[in-house]
Chains A and B, each alone.
Chain A
Amino acid sequence: MTSVITRAERWNFPDWGDPAECQFHRVSVDLELCDGCKLCTIICPANVLELYEVQEKKKVRVKDDHRGCVSCNNCHAICANGAIAASRHYDFIGYYRQLGRGEFSMPRRF
């Protein structure tokens, strides 16, 4: 029986601290829509969101160290304005390489 991942990949565990090997997605924020309500920074399971000031208005951004974002989109779910969203899943090199994934899509009514 063949394997989808190679023997080399089976033994290759990504470096936890290396963003090139552990690619956590950076959620994108629409600054026009963000009203700085802070809710997403509170509920983010990876604690990777923070508020900052743009022209004396509070806005949300992703911290430089955003290790741990799992693209759960809880930030999008709680945002009253739909200003923040993840559009890609995390991926790793080697053993944990993602398989059989397609594009992000809203729930489809078939």
Chain B
Amino acid sequence: MEITVQVRSRSDLTAPTTPVGAGPTTSARDREDPERIEEEAGRTSAISEIAEGAPWNAVEEAMLRRRSIRKYKRKQVPAHLIRRILEMGRYAPSQGNCQPWKFVVVRDAAMIQEMEEFCVAACRKLSTALDYAAYRKGTRAYFVARAKAKLFSRLQPNMLHPVPVSAVTAIAQGRFAVFHRAPTVILLLMDTRGIGTPEIDIGICGTNIVLAAQSLGLGTCWIGFSSFLNRSPEWRARLGAEKPYKIVEAITVGYPIGDPSRLIARETHEIAWFEDGRKEILY
């Protein structure tokens, strides 16, 4: 096979020589004005003017009406729709285009139930060991668990946040589920050799999947507790999550119970805005 390399000018081949301390130099390519080039090519991209207060478009609608769905109808989602939303994950941006994901789709109710039982058992162990709030105050078990929890909190402050801890206890007590009896579970595996921070890429990939699902009338929920499955070499082998792969997240997919489409209020967040040499704080 013949490979041709097009060289536009000699400056593309020879690196500019930079005298020490001369500051940054720009290559010939950088000095060219991109806007002039697109004009010359007659292929100027359009700028669509969106008026202030314009109605939400379809993507915005999907973002605003997406809720984490934890109660599903029994009806299975057609396979082609799962393929369709995974396709959106495939086109997610990633660092250096490294695409550090691997998808595992589980649609076998018995297998999902087995995964559920494994994660519930892990939650029971964790809750018994650490959640002192689940014990009666003043008992020995309360003090032992509390002392351990306070120490581990310093070491694992993200995991031992009060919110997931109360969820772990709710799962242990059977008041909450891990995979929510969803008809389809998509496990997001990460190639731990990914560039930079591959966890971020998994998050972006999953967001594509979740928003695509929302736009197709499907309900989804992120399942972080799915990572308990990493503790079992058997599960890792069965799911193809052996090294260098790791189960990072799962997304349950199904048809939501009820109609959870009403828009909701949320708190605003501080925005630091730098412009015209000033800084403003917006919300």
* Chain A residues with a Cβ under 8 A of chain B: 11, 13-17, 22, 39, 42-43, 45-47, 67-68, 70, 72-74, 76-80, 82, 85-90, 92, 95-96, 99-107, 109-110
Contacts and interface: CB of A to CB of B under 8 A. Distances in A.
Contacts of B176: 45, 47
B268 A110 contact: no
* Residue picked from A42, A76, A77, A82, most chain B C-beta under 10 Å: A77
A72 B222 CA distance: 14
A80 to B, nearest CB: 7
Given A16-B131, A39-B258, A67-B133, A92 B162 contact: yes
Interface in B20-59: 52-56
A73 B266 contact: yes
Interface in B37-91: 52-56, 64-65, 67-71
A109 B283 CA distance: 14
Interface string B127-170: 00001110001000000001001100110010011110111001
B2 interface: no
Contact of B260 (A43, A88, A102): A43
Chain A to chain B: the 4 pairs with minimum beta-carbon distance, closest first: A17-B133, A100-B270, A102-B268, A102-B283
Contacts of A15: 133, 146
Interface in B245-283: 257-270, 283
B8 interface: no
A73 B154 contact: no
A102 to B, nearest CB: 4
Given A11-B154, A43-B71, A16 B162 contact: yes
B10 interface: no
Main secondary structure of the interface of B (DSSP, over half): loop
B269 A79 contact: no
Contact of A107 (B64, B67, B70, B154): B64
B67 A77 contact: yes
Contacts of B131: 16
A105 to B, nearest CB: 5
Contacts of B270: 99-102
21 contacts: A11-B154, A13-B149, A22-B162, A43-B71, A45-B167, A46-B166, A46-B167, A47-B175, A67-B166, A74-B264, A76-B262, A78-B260, A79-B262, A82-B262, A85-B265, A88-B267, A101-B269, A102-B270, A104-B268, A106-B265, A110-B53
Given A13-B153, A39-B257, A68-B170, A45 B68 contact: yes
B70 A101 contact: no
B265 A77 contact: no
A43 B262 contact: no
Given A17-B133, A43-B257, A78 B163 contact: no
A72 B267 contact: no
A96 B161 contact: yes
Given A70-B163, A78-B259, A106-B263, 5 more contacts: A22-B162, A43-B70, A77-B264, A86-B265, A92-B162
Nearest to B66: A77
A89 B167 CA distance: 17
Contacts of A39: 257-258
Nearest to A67: B166
Contacts of B264: 73-74, 76-77, 85, 106
A16 B137 CA distance: 12
